[in-house]
Structure 1
Amino acid sequence: MTQAPALPRLGTILETTAAWLLALVWVAPLLYAVWAAIHPTGYATRFELFAPLTLSNFAAAWEAAPFARYFLNTFALVTMVLVAQFVLCTLAAFAFARAAFWGSGILFGLVLVQLMIMPDILLVENYRTMRALGLVDTILSIGLPYMASAFGIFLLRQTFKQVPKELEEAARVEGCGTLGILLRVYVPLAKPTYLAYGLTSVSYHWNNFLWPLVITNSVETRPLTVGLSVFASTDQGIDWAIISAATLMTSAPLLLGFLLFQRQFVQSFMRAGIK
């Protein structure tokens, strides 16, 4: 006699319902942006089933601002910051995970303290530093304060600590030095973590607005987020259809990257012990 399938528990039903509601809240602005971008301006706030479709809003948005320059600046910025973070965070995380030296616990605690400091608090001091270095209104000035990441150090340290020491000892027997062990043993095993952190870092710096707005003055150095602000500063008012099209063009690379690597993104955080 076969048993009837067990009914889902009440807690599971509530959790699933809550997850779907949160997902709906998150995706609602995106759905509105898509609707407004592919319909004429007059339909941005009118939801008609058979409303006419158009792609002219994307062309108008592209022509209204130098998007090619903004995209180039943003790609240069996120690439520069990510490469610097990978190098610096890898070296620091390896030292905290495997190197035994006096005061390592205190130093790592100071690194974690940085996670509690909001970057916006340091705007004035960072601006003074960039001005003293003569870097105001440059792409380097946007990324320089973020090239060392406490979160990246913590995440990679958690991953490196899970690597069996037997692999390191075997590499030393084969004649590898410390740097060779790092590059040939630890870094390859931490690829999912690098991917997850890379997506997090790129997403943050792609969307960062306040610091680039403060430190840049010209079109030649502004990233996409600051460039979008021109659509909200027109005398004719805000055209929601065009600004929605511009927003979709700006966020499309990030959405595509997350959709392609979402499994690795989630798995890497699970392996690092972060919930």
Structure 2
Amino acid sequence: MDRAQRLAYNQPTWLDTVAAWLLALLWILPLAYAVWTAFHPTEYSTRFTLLAPLTLDNFSRAWEAAPFARYFLNTALLVAMILAVQLVLATLAAYAFARYEFRGKNVAFALVLVQLMIMPDILLVENYKTMSQLGLVDTLVAIGLPYFASAFAIFLLRQTFLGIPKELDEAARVEGATAMQTLWRVYVPLARPVYTAFALVSVSFHWNNFLWPLIVTNSVKARPLTVGLQVFSSVDQGVDWSIITAATLMTSAPLLIGFLLFQRQFVQSFMRAGIK
């Protein structure tokens, strides 16, 4: 069986296997180094030996060097707030684009798609001016407000809602359901894989977002984990990689553990949602 036939039957070749292993090594090596450095004394951060002693002191030192409890709380509240608002707004907008006819519908949807082509970094200055005028600087709302309306979520849900038979709308109306009841009881349950897939993308992005939170926050009360990590790279006596890697592992641990526990659900959600 030649390569074309293997691909036709979705069977990987040895080149595909080698490429997959190389990509896996590129991803796993930095993580392996971070784990090694975090669990060993500072003097072993560049020395690899099986006799190196294990320690948890790096984690305790990192926890004491920064208010991690506050950072974790801020980050959890932030991603939950953004995701909740995004899902509500995107659901209503996608339902309107998919099932209603109104003047300027195509133009409005085109503007939504244009938002996908604009890099968020381009709007940093204008967004900061807006937050300053609203008096929201150094708040969690200021971090999340520019992301409340997600064009990506609107696009995904609209495409999903368009694939739902209109006969279900008619059946719901016969039963006396209103438009909102039809949306929440028919459309939303059928689009559950899409909601799950988008939630994974949104939570991962905003958990790791750094530049905008750095610009719009000035104090510990509103800073998320990613901004809090910078305290470890601004010391005057050099960089302690053991503490930095320990802090990085604590920051990324919730996402890594969540992925390992729900890996199957993650993959199935993306496959059902059609995200490539």
TM-score range, shorter chain: over 0.9
- C-alpha distance in 1, partners of 2:157/2:266? 14
What value does the CA root-mean-square deviation take over the aligned residues?
Answer: 1.7
Partners of 1:158 and 1:272 within 8 A in 2: no
The alignment status of 1:97 with 2:98, answered yes or no, reads yes
Aligned to 1:124: 125
Matches within 5 A, 1:42-191: 42-191=43-192
CA deviation digits over 1:183-230, x for unaligned, max 9? Answer: 000111111211111111111111111111101111111110010000
Aligned-pair CA distance for 1:8? 6.7
Partners of 1:96 and 1:108 within 8 A in 2: yes
Aligned-pair CA distance for 1:76? 1.1
Which runs of 5 or more structure 1 residues have no equivalent in the other structure? 1-6
Matched residue SS, 2:17: helix
- C-alpha distance in 2, partners of 1:216/1:47? 39
Matched residue SS, 1:52: coil
Partners of 1:137 and 1:217 within 8 A in 2: yes
CA deviation digits over 1:47-81, x for unaligned, max 9? Answer: 11221111111111100100011111111111111
- C-alpha distance in 2, partners of 1:160/1:268? 16
- C-alpha distance in 2, partners of 1:159/1:256? 29
Could you state the TM-score of these two structures normalised by the residue count of structure 2? 0.93
Partners of 2:71 and 2:223 within 8 A in 1: yes
Return the letter of the residue paired with 2:271: M
- C-alpha distance in 2, partners of 1:120/1:273? 27
- C-alpha distance in 2, partners of 1:247/1:108? 40
Q: What percentage of residue pairs aligned between the two structures are identical? A: 72
Matched residue SS, 2:235: coil
Return the letter of the residue paired with 1:145: P
Aligned-pair CA distance for 1:168? 2.0
- C-alpha distance in 2, partners of 1:112/1:261? 31
Matched residue SS, 1:220: helix
Count of matched residue positions in the alignment of Structure 1 and Structure 2: 269
Matched residue SS, 1:54: coil
Aligned to 1:4: none
Which runs of 5 or more structure 2 residues have no equivalent in the other structure? none
Could you state the TM-score of these two structures normalised by the residue count of structure 1? 0.93
- C-alpha distance in 2, partners of 1:251/1:216? 21
Return the letter of the residue paired with 1:34: V
Aligned to 2:261: 260
The alignment status of 1:227 with 2:219, answered yes or no, reads no
Partners of 2:193 and 2:272 within 8 A in 1: no
- C-alpha distance in 2, partners of 1:35/1:259? 20
Partners of 2:116 and 2:152 within 8 A in 1: yes
